[in-house]
A and B are shown apart, each in its own frame.
Chain A
Amino acid sequence: MTKNISSRDWETISAYLDGQLSDRKLIRFEARLSQEPEFRVALNELHHTRQLLRNAPSLRVPRNFLLSPRMVGNPRHLPRLAPVFGWTSAVASLLLVLLLVGDFFTPAGVIPTAWNNVPGQTVPLSQGNTEDLVYTEAPMMSAPALGGSSENNDSNPMPEAELQEMVVTPEMESIAAAAVTTEEMDEATATAQLSPEEVPTAEIGEEDLMRAAESPSELEVATPKVLTDTTLSKDEFASESLEPSQTITGEVTLNQEFVQAEPTATEIPTEVVQQAEDTPTVSGIETFSEEEPLPPEEKFKVEEQTSIDSPEPADEMALKAAPEMETETFVVEEQVLDKTPEPRKSPYDFLAGIEAGVILLAISTAIAWVYLRRRGG
């Protein structure tokens, strides 16, 4: 009899039973209820069903469900610590964000420059030229060619201060060139050019080189130890087991024309050899090679400051390299890395330690807070 009642009508009847119809729907439903008998039958059946459910016997509990402290794990003491961990985690996270933002907006190189201006950390270039003490990062992979003239300095990426740091006296260069054999020169395509007007006595001809190869012991007497290292060929440099005090690295540029040029000087000037003997070590090299081991980022930088009492000013004796010269950088990075002692600590290490500590604090307190909240319910 109730088969013609739609699902929507059943829903209306059910809502009518519970008094959930609005006034307008109620008036409309009561009008249909008075006119359609099957509505009355459906309403009667649903009402009886609801009465049955309402009169359903209540089941008695089989036992009491009282809780004991062991069942609930005594959670009331632990959550008191939860807010502490929560606040600590929040503060640590905020501090971490500030540190990261600070790192992002801090100009690169500010802290290292200030750090390297600490007295005793840099080697003075020359007396009375303290403005050259400004530290510049040495190039890591390839050193630019030495600017030979002042007009080339504009296009040269290497700062002027660094160029002045790499001044090599003609005495040093001549002694170095004397120790290089012709085979080594061929193998290493490095070139160097000595300006004739600046270092007229420093040029050594091929004949001298041949003689030096035949009897290197004669020159070794007059050659300072450190300078000998700077004249190592590429293969020797790679295979030589250098002591930490001998990790002299850098760029040696030799002019190919120098090797092929006509000999203009048949032997090393005696005064140069004498000066080398009188000066067993070059103070600048000795300073950072024995007292201050090179940090990794500075291993390609050659700070050569001479204390040799040269008859000419250092600026005039500077080795000027031609722009067109072929350069070759000695790649000894891995060797030197193995030999280089521990780098000195910088403020960045301290900041990194602080950041790591803050990260650990934030994570650990957050985990503790979540754990306590879960356990405390």
Chain B
Amino acid sequence: MDEITLIRDAQQGDLEAFNRLILAYQEMVYNQAYRVIGESDAAEDATQETFISAYRKIDSYRGGSFKAWLLRIVTNACYDELRRRKRRPVVPLEPTDEYDEEIESPRWIADPGESPEDFTLRAELSDAIQNCLDDLSDDFRTVVILVDIQGMDYTEASQIMGTPLGTVKSRLARARRGMRLCLQGFWELLPGAFRLENEAP
């Protein structure tokens, strides 16, 4: 069953059809929430809240990119969470193992089919990116996640964030400059596959 049919059934109140849409988009939504908020539990809550809100507002979906529509909802949910955290700062709970020791890379990023080396490689890269993203302001972080991680174009990012196209362009440029400077500190830690290469754009 294609996406349009599932959306139409969900608009008719078919919760099962909407749950199938959730299975298709939950990873994308969760990644967006995690990259923006930077904390797994809050990202989990934001993701669940996003799908509940999306189901209730699905009548307002008028076509176009369903992924962009979901990204707009989850972005707003993340902004709400960030505003809430600024009013009442929280200390995130780091995941721990069975010996109550902190796990640097959460277990849920593990791919059961990958080798331990690949897992370590991915975890280090993910942590380095997240650390650099956390140094950006909320708006810069969001735009660089939407364009460079989620693959949205400028127009979609502008619609999701509710900002003009020129603002998206300038914010993205400054966000990339900030990420460039930040990731330079991780060059030596990054695996060779991710190091700077002289490739043409």
Please report which residues of chain B, range 25-71, place their CB below 8 angstroms from some CB of chain A when the two chains form the complex.
Answer: 26-27, 29-31, 34-35, 40, 44, 47-48, 51-53, 55-59
Segment 60-103 of B: residues with Cβ below 8 Å from A: none
In this complex, the interface size class of chain A, counting residues with CB under 8 Å from chain B, is 35 or more
- Whether B201 contacts A14 by the Cβ 8 Å rule is no
Q: Which residues of A contact B147 (CB under 8 A)?
A: 18
Contact assessment for B129 and A60 in the assembled complex, using a CB-CB cutoff below 8 Å? no
Interface flag for B189 (CB, 8 Å): no
Contact A66-B22, Cβ < 8 Å, known A11-B170, A52-B129, A53-B144: yes
| CB pair A18 B40 closer than 8 Å | no
The secondary-structure label for the interface of chain A is: helix
B residues whose Cβ falls under 8 Å from a Cβ of A: 13, 15, 18-19, 22-23, 26-27, 29-31, 34-35, 40, 44, 47-48, 51-53, 55-59, 106, 108-111, 122-123, 125-126, 129, 144, 147-149, 151, 153-154, 169-170, 172-174, 176-177, 179-180, 183, 190, 194, 196-199, 201
**A44, CB-defined interface residue at 8 Å:** yes
List of A residues within 8 angstroms of B108 by Cβ: 59-62
Contact indicator B172/A14 (Cβ below 8 Å): yes
Q: Is the CB of B26 within 8 A of A72?
A: no
Given the complex of chains A and B, what is the CA–CA distance between A138 and B111 in angstroms?
95
Residues of chain A from 29 to 67 with CB closer than 8 A to chain B in the complex? 43-67
A16: CB under 8 A from chain B?
A: yes
A375, closest chain B residue (CB): B56
Contact with B along A358-373 (1 / 0, CB 8 A): 0000000000000000
Q: Are the CB atoms of B199 and A14 closer together than 8 Å?
A: no
B165 to chain A, nearest CB (A): 9
A61 touches B56 (CB 8 A): no
With A14-B169, A60-B27 already in contact, 17 other A-B pairs whose C-beta atoms are closer than 8 Å: A11-B173, A45-B196, A46-B180, A48-B197, A49-B179, A51-B199, A52-B183, A59-B106, A60-B108, A62-B40, A62-B44, A62-B108, A63-B44, A65-B30, A66-B23, A69-B15, A377-B53
- The residue in B58, B169, B196, B201 that gathers the most chain A C-beta atoms within 10 A of its C-beta is B201
Task: From A15, A49, A60, give the contact of B180 (CB < 8 A).
Answer: A49
25 contacts between A and B (CB under 8 A): A7-B174, A10-B174, A10-B177, A11-B173, A16-B201, A44-B196, A45-B196, A46-B180, A49-B180, A49-B183, A52-B125, A52-B129, A52-B190, A55-B125, A59-B27, A61-B30, A61-B108, A62-B40, A62-B106, A63-B44, A65-B47, A67-B55, A72-B56, A376-B56, A377-B53
**Which B-chain residue is minimally distant from A45 (CB atoms)?**
B180
How close is A71's CB to chain B, nearest CB, in angstroms? Answer: 6
Task: List residues 67-126 of chain A with CB under 8 A from any CB of chain B.
Answer: 67-69, 71-72, 75-76
Residue of B at shortest CB range from A374? B56
Q: Which residues of A contact B19 (CB under 8 A)?
A: 66-67
Assess the A377–B174 pair: CB atoms within 8 A.
no
CB distance from A38 to the nearest CB of B (A): 14
